[in-house]
Structure 1
Amino acid sequence: MIRVGIVGAGGWADSSHLPALAALDAFEVTAVATTRQASAGRAAAAHGVRHAFADAGELAAHPDVDLVVVSVKASGHAAAIRAALAAGKHVVSEWPLGADTDEANELAEAATAAGVVHAVVLQGHHSPSARFTADLLAEGRIGSLESVALVADGAPWGGSRIPPNLVFGLDPAQGSNILPIMAGHFLAALERVAGPLTEVSARLPRTHDRVLVTGTGGTVANATPGHVLLHGLLANGATASVAVHGGNEPTRNGFHLKLVGSEGTLTATPTQLGTFIHWCDWDIKFGDEALAVPDTYRTAPAAVRSGPPANVAALYQEVARAITEGRQPHPSFETGLRHHRLLTAIEQSAADGTTREIS
Structure 2
Amino acid sequence: MSNSNPIHIGIIGLSNGIYMGGSWAGAAHHPYLTTSPYYKITALQNSSIESAKAAASTFGLNDVACYGDPESIAKDPDVDLVAVSVKVPEHYKLIEPALCAGKDVFSEWPLAANLADAEALTKLAAEMKVKTMVGLQGRQSPAVRKAKEMIAAGELGDILGSSMSGTWMVQGDMIPDFFEYGLDINAGVNMLTVLVGHAIDSFCYVLGEFEAVQAALINNRPQMRLVDGEGKVIKTVEKTIHDRISVVGKLKNGGVGTVVYQTEKSNTGKPFYWEINGTKGSLVLECQDGSIQMIPPTLKFASREPDAELKNVELEDGSAISYNVGRQYDAFAGKENGSFATFEDALIRHRMIDAIYKSDKNGTRESYV
Work out whether 1:351 is the aligned partner of 2:361.
yes
Asked whether 1:25 is paired with 2:37, we answer: yes
Cα deviations across residues 142-176 of structure 1 (Å, max 9, x unaligned)?
2111110001012313x321111101001111110
Find out whether 1:258 has 2:258 as its counterpart: no
Give SS of 2:133's match: strand
Query: 2: distance between equivalents of 1:48 and 1:294?
Result: 34
Once the two structures are TM-superposed, the CA of residue 248 in structure 1 deviates from its matched residue by 7.1
- Mapping 1:153-232, distance limit 5 Å: 153-157=167-171, 159-214=172-227, 215-232=232-249
Task: Write the distance in 1 (CA, Å) between the matches of 2:101 and 2:53.
Answer: 23
User: Aligned to 2:138, which of 124, 148, 162?
Assistant: 124
Q: Is 1:281 matched with 2:296?
A: yes
Distance 1:195 1:15 in 2: 31
1:46 equivalent to 2:63? Answer no
| 2:218 counterpart SS class | coil
State the partner residue of 1:145. 159
Aligned to 1:247: 264
Structure 1 17/355 Cα, relative in aligned 2: closer, same or farther at 3 Å? same
Distance in 2, matches of 1:319 and 1:251, equals: 39
Whole-angstrom distance in 2 between the partners of 1:254 and 1:337:
28
Amino acid at match of 1:5: G
Matches within 5 A, 1:294-333: 294-295=315-316, 306-321=319-334, 330-333=340-343
Residue deviations 1:184-229, cap 9 Å, x none?
0010111122111221110110111111011343111111111111
Output the CA distance in 1 between the equivalents of 2:281 and 2:123. Answer: 43
- Equivalent-residue separation in structure 2 for 1:51 and 1:188 (angstroms): 35
In 1, distance between residues paired with 2:210 and 2:32? 31
* Larger helix proportion of the pair: 1
Matched letter for residue 15 of structure 1: A
Q: Which of the numbers 211, 233, 255 marks the counterpart of 1:238?
A: 255
Three-state SS of the structure 1 residue aligned to 2:111 is coil
Q: Distance in 1 between matches of 2:79 and 2:197?
A: 30
The one-letter code matched in structure 1 to 2:37 is D
* Cα separation, partners in 2 of 1:150 and 1:337, compared to 1, 3 Å: same
CA distance in 1, matches of 2:251, 2:70: 39
Deviation of 1:262 after TM superposition, in Å, equals 1.2
Specify the SS of the correspondent of 2:347: helix
Q: CA deviation at 1:3?
A: 0.6
The verdict on how the C-alpha distance between 1:187 and 1:307 changes in structure 2, with shifts beyond 3 A counting, is: farther
Question: Pairwise mapping of residues 106-121 of structure 1 onto structure 2 (< 5 A)?
Answer: 106-121=120-135
Q: Tell me the equivalent position of 1:291.
A: 312
2:33 corresponds to 1:16: no
Question: How many Å apart are 1:34 and its aligned residue?
Answer: 1.2
Contact 2:84 2:107 in 1 (8 A): yes
* C-alpha contact (below 8 Å) 1:281/1:307 kept by paired residues: no
Kindly indicate whether the alpha-carbon contact (under 8 Å) linking 2:199 and 2:290 is maintained by their aligned counterparts in 1: no
Q: How far, CA to CA, are the matches of 2:89 and 2:194 in structure 1?
A: 13
Report the Cα distance in structure 2 between the residues aligned to 1:306 and 1:216, rounded to whole angstroms.
Answer: 33
Aligned residue for 2:305? none
CA distance in 2, matches of 1:250, 1:33: 43
2:260 aligns to what SS in structure 1? strand
Are the equivalent residues in 1 in contact too, given 2:183–2:238 (CA < 8 A)? Answer: yes
Question: Match for residue 7 of structure 2?
Answer: 2
Q: TM-score, normalised to structure 1's length? A: 0.90
Letter in 1 for 2:300: K
CA contact (8 A) 1:17 1:312 kept: yes
| Secondary structure of the structure 1 residue equivalent to 2:259 | strand
Letter aligned with residue 291 of structure 1: N
- Structure 2 CA distance for aligned equivalents of residues 251 and 209 of structure 1: 26
Distance 1:53 1:353 in 2: 48
Question: Distance between the aligned counterparts of 1:166 and 1:316, measured in 2?
Answer: 28
In the alignment, is the contact (CA less than 8 A) between 2:289 and 2:295 conserved in 1?
Answer: no
Distance of 1:135 and 1:198 partners within structure 2:
22
Unaligned runs of 5+ in 2: 1-5, 16-22, 303-308
8 Å Cα contact 1:232/1:239 also seen in 2: yes
Compute the RMSD of aligned alpha carbons: 2.1
Query: Which secondary structure state, in structure 2, belongs to the residue aligned with residue 156 of structure 1?
Result: coil
Residue type at the aligned position of 1:16: A
